[in-house]
Amino acid sequence: MKTKREEEKGEGEEHVKRQKLLEQSPSPSPPRLAFDNALLPLASYDDDDEEEEEERRGASGGRVGNNVGRIAQNGHGDGSEYDDEDEDDDDSEKGQSQGKRNRVIELRRDCPYLDTVNRQVLDFDFEKFCSVSLSNLNVYACLVCGKYYQGRGQKSHAYTHSLEAGHHVYINLRTEKVYCLPDGYEINDPSLDDIRHVLNPRVTRGQVEKLDRNKQWSRALDGSDYLPGMVGLNNIKETDFVNVTIQSLMRVTPLRNFFLIPENYQHSKSPLVHRFGELTRKIWHARNFKGQVSPHEFLQAVMKASKKRFLIGAQSDPVEFISWLLNTLHADLRNSKRNSSIIYQCFQGELEVVKERFIADLSLRREKMAMNRIMAVLQIVELSRITVLQKLAECHS
């Protein structure tokens, strides 16, 4: 039998041991960054695109605004439990943003999956939406199968696709950066520059000036030859009225040269203007993977800007469409100081006054017509006289 003092002593020793174990056990810590990993020293799986950060900032800004409104409505702004919760949330958000700023992504050139890139299936003419979530934020294109997926984090659709399908090379459709998933490192290889040029065609001012003088044929991936600026446009279900309008406008040299340089219209916030410029650059691009272009994104901008006046699958009048298109582009491009734009400069037209010449020509024409009538009457009279004389001679004989 243990005495009461021995029992208390044993309980005290057990408490001390338990306290030491708690002190020695690691406390829960935030997840370590990717560069602490010895196997992948600089790899990261988190998304770092500005769209998601701006979206979070907007959401947090809205939450702060609501909180301020609630405090003002309640009539008190002193330190309460509600304010303490806000401070905790702000501290956690600051910690997350600080972790994102400190994040470093490994940059490699020797990716073992570059030989899986299939340029035959790449098509950047369609809208940049994730094929799973249908979101247009932070979209990546798989360079193996050509499909679009959102994000590259561990819970993203692109990451899942890389594990399920074994496709590892992806390009960000906005930043044009190429990543290897699921490893998470960025690929910097010059062999991918042709894909970047097809995704976002670039033309310098010097190339624009020499565009009409250097007419060289280009070759598509399938071996067919095409002439830049003379490529075909896909007919997306009764959209030939749009195609014929685009092909006609591409022959207007000042208009073409203006839209080939994105800096000329970077001040415009109209999606229609930027889609038209992008389509112009694709038509005149000499490094396309195929000899035709699909105006799908431009058609989507047309439907939105026209409030569904011109639709895919509904035939419309080309004259009506070109009139609406030129007026809309002029309204979106014109300067606030001067009511002028490249549309106004190309299609304003000229008026030549020839009033006096026209009157003189008209009087001469009328005199000639009167003289011709008089001569015709005289000829008829002469023929009648001869006929009468002939009949009189026959009667006397």
What is the topology classification, in CATH, of domain 108-197? Herpes Virus-1 (3.30.40)
Give 374 or 79, the one with higher predicted confidence: 374
Residue type at 77?
G
| Residue linked to tokens 């309008």 | 245
318-338 pLDDT tens trace? 999 999 999 999 988 887 666
In the numeric block, which tokens belong to residue 228?
A: 């830049």
SS3 of residue 171 by DSSP: strand
**Residue ranges, CATH 3.90.70.10, the chain:** 201-347
**Contact criterion met (CB below 8 Å) for 212 and 73:** no
Give yes or no for residue 196 having a pLDDT over 60: yes
Read off the pTM.
Answer: 0.61
Give yes or no for residue 54 having a pLDDT over 70: no
Task: Tell me the three-class secondary structure of 137-166, residue by residue.
Answer: CCEEEECCCCCEEECCCCCCHHHHHHHHHC
Measure the CA–CA gap between 224 and 203, rounded to whole angstroms: 23
Helices (H), 49-156: 50-74, 81-101
**Residue ranges, CATH 3.30.40.10, the chain:** 108-197
Measure the CA–CA gap between 314 and 236, rounded to whole angstroms: 10
pLDDT at residue 57 in the model: 53
First to last CA, the chain: 184
55-111 pLDDT tens trace? 445 444 444 444 434 433 334 344 333 333 333 444 444 455 444 444 578 888 889
**Contact criterion met (CB below 8 Å) for 194 and 93:** no
The structural architecture, per CATH, of the domain 201-347 is Alpha-Beta Complex (3.90)
For residue 66, how many other CB atoms are within 10 A of its CB? 10
